[in-house]
Amino acid sequence: MSATTMEAAKRAAAHSHKSSLHRQRMWALWGSYIALGVFVVIFLVPPFYTLMTSLKSSAEISAQSGNPWIVRSPTLENFWYLITYPNFQTFYFNSVVVTLLTVVISMVISVMAAFSLARMGFWGSQTLSTSVFLTYLIPPSLLFIPLFQIVGAIGMINNVWCLILLYPTLAVPFCTWIMIGYFSSIPKELDEAALIDGAGYVQILVKIFIPVAMPGIIAATIFAFTVSWGAFLYPLAYLYTSNQMVLTVGIISDLIRGDVFQWGKIMAACLLASLPPIVIYAFLMDYYVAGLTAGATKG
C-alpha cells in the first residue's frame, strides 16, 4: 500500500512540477509581450503625434488648449494644401528624380564592382575591397566642407544635380559590400558550370549572378533608396533656393518662415515625405532587414 501511495505522490509531484514549468513559461511569454508592447508604444509616439497634428486645422493648433494628443475636428486641409503647393511638388519631384538616379547609378557601379571583387580579382583587388569597407565608415559630416569647395569649383552649388554626383558616395560602398557578400556565397561550381556551358564573364554576371543574388540586389537597392531619400546634410549645405531643394531640407526651410511654424503642414509634409520609405518597408521588410544585417553577418 505504501508503495502505491509513494507512486501516486511521485506522480503528483512530477505533474505539479510540469505544470509549474508550464506556468513559468507562460509568464515569461506574457511578460515578453507586455514589455514589447510598452516599447512599441514608446517607439510609435512620434509617428502617432505626427499623424494627429497633420489632421488638425491651423486654428485647432494655434488655440493651444486641451489634449494635444487627440484631434477634435480632423481635416485633410494640410494635405490638400501641400498637394497643390507648387514648392512642395517641386521638392517631391526633385527627391524622386534624385533618388531614382542615385539608386540606378549606385546599383550599376556596385554590382559591377562587387562581381569583379568577389569573383574575378585583379592586382590590388583585395586592397580595394578593404578600402570600400573603410569608405563606408567615413561619415558625410567629415567631408562636406571640402566637398562644398569642390561642388563650388564645378559650378554646381545650388544645383540639385550635384546630389546625383554626391549621393552615390553614400550608397555605393555599403551596396558593394553587401553584394560582395551575396556574390561570394554563390557556389563557385555555378560559374564553372556556366564557363563550361560557354558563358563569358558578362554573361555569367547578367544571366547567373544577378538573378541568383536577387535578394541581395533588392536589399542593396532598398539601402541606396533609403540613404538618398533621407540624406539631409548635403542638400542643406549645397542647396538654398526652393526650386532646387529636395524634401528633407525643403520642408524645413520652406514651411518654417521666420518664427512662424505651420506645424499642421509641417507634420503633414513629414508624413507624405516618409510615405515612400514606409511603403517600401511594409512590402519588402525581409529584404530591408537582410540588408541591414548583411553588413555584419555576411561580411
Partner 1 sequence: MAEVSCRKVVKEYEGGVQAVKGIDLEISDHEFVVLVGPSGCGKSTTLRMIAGLEEISGGEIWIGGDVVNDVPPRDRDIAMVFQNYALYPHMSVFDNMAFGLKLRKFPKDEIKRRVDEAARILDIGPLLERKPRALSGGQRQRVAMGRAIVRNPKVFLFDEPLSNLDAKLRVQMRTEIKKVHQTVKTTTIYVTHDQIEAMTLADRVVVMNHGVIEQVGSPHDVYHHPKTRFVAGFIGSPAMNFIPCRVTDGTNGGLAIKVTDQIVLPVPPQRMDRYGKYKGREMVLGLRPEHLFEYHEQGKPNWSRVDLLTDVVEPMGMETMVHFFVEGTPVCARVDPSTHAEPGEMLPLTADLNQMHLMEKDSGVVV
Partner 2 sequence: MADGSSVPIGAMAPASGAARQKGSLHKLARHRSTTAFLLCLPLILLIAAFVVYPAFYAIYLSMLNKKMTAFVGLNNFAFLLKRHTFQLVIFQSCLFAITAVVLKALLGFIIAHLMHNIPGGNQKIWRGLLLVPWVIPLALSTLSWWWMFDPSYSAFNWILNQFGFDNVPWLGVGWIARACTIVVNVWYGTPFFMIMYLAALKSVPEQLYEAASIDGAGAVQKLFFVTLPMMRNIIAITVLFSLIVTFADFDIVRILTSGGPQDMTHVFATYAFQVGIQSGDIPLGASVSLFMFPLLAFAAFFVLRGVTKRSKEIAA
Residues 183 to 222 in contact with partner 1, rule: CB under 8 A = 187, 189-190, 192-199, 203, 207-208, 211-212, 214
3-state secondary structure of 256: strand
Q: Could you say which of 6, 14, 21, 134 contacts partner 2 (CB under 8 A)?
A: 134
With binding defined as CB under 8 A, does residue 143 bind partner 1? no
| Nine cell digits for residue 200 | 563569358
The Cα 119–Cα 111 span in angstroms is: 12
221 vs 253, beta carbon nearer partner 1: 221
Residues 82-121, one symbol each (x = binds partner 2 by CB under 8 A, - = not), give --------------------------xxx-xx-xxxxxxx
With binding defined as CB under 8 A, does residue 44 bind partner 2? yes
Nearest by Cα to 168 from 136, 141, 146, 145: 136
| Length of the chain measured in residues | 299
| H or E element at residue 37 | helix 2-54
Residues 151-190, one symbol each (x = binds partner 1 by CB under 8 A, - = not), give ------------------------------------x-xx
The Cα 175–Cα 55 span in angstroms is: 38
Taking CB within 5 to 8 Å according to partner kind, which of partner 1, partner 2, none is near residue 219?
none
Query: Closest approach of Cβ 33 to partner 2, in Å?
Result: 6
140 vs 215, beta carbon nearer partner 2: 140
Segment 174 to 213, residues that bind partner 2, using CB under 8 A? 176, 180-181, 184, 188, 191-192, 195, 201-202, 204
With binding defined as CB under 8 A, does residue 267 bind partner 2? yes
Distances 276 to 108, 230, 246 between C-alpha atoms, Å: 22, 11, 14
In this chain, which stretch among 14-22, 44-52, 73-81, 96-104 interacts with partner 2, using CB under 8 A? 44-52
The Cα 176–Cα 211 span in angstroms is: 16
Segment 12 to 41, residues that bind partner 1, using CB under 8 A? none
What residues make contact with partner 1 under the rule CB under 8 A? Answer: 187, 189-190, 192-199, 203, 207-208, 211-212, 214
